[in-house]
Amino acid sequence: NPDRNGYRTYGLDRIERIADGNDPFTVRSDFNAEQFFKHSFGISKMLESPQDVRVRCNKLEYAYLQAQPVHASQKLHRIDDETYELHLHVLITYELVHFLLGLGPAIEVLEPISLREQMKLTLSNALNHYR
């Protein structure tokens, strides 16, 4: 995106129309998609730095995450027979938060504290819908 002096990602399902422009487009030779999305969880790309994410999970989620890794940085650690931890080095994105919310009561975000607080607020707001 020349107006923002950088690359952007767009959801194809949200494009309403395409129009020819007068500006020529060429892919820069220095663009490497693998490197560009290295720390992304999903397609969102942010200017912030990636963070270390630590999530406690149960045995069932551990087995799922072991069989279906969710990110190249994923590491799983056994704490005891019933407790495991998922470690990621990723950008804190909308997709990450929604993935973690989808795991529901099987997980607890431990770090970073900002993500833990975001999860806590989101879950509290969701619970208010059922009061």
Residue (of 90, 86, 4, 11) closest to 43 by Cα position:
11
> Using alpha carbons only, what angle is made at residue 47 by residues 3 and 31, rounded to the nearest 5 degrees?
65
The residue with greater pLDDT, 125 or 18, is 125
Return d(Cα 21, Cα 12) in angstroms, integer: 18
Return d(Cα 51, Cα 38) in angstroms, integer: 12
Residue with tokens 């504290």: 113
Percent of the chain with pLDDT over 90: 63
This prediction's pTM? 0.80
Q: 53 and 112 in contact (C-beta within 8 Å)?
A: yes
Q: Which range has the worst mean pLDDT, 31-35, 68-72, 80-84?
A: 31-35
Of the chain, the end-to-end C-alpha distance in Å amounts to 45
Looking at residue 1, its pLDDT comes to: 64
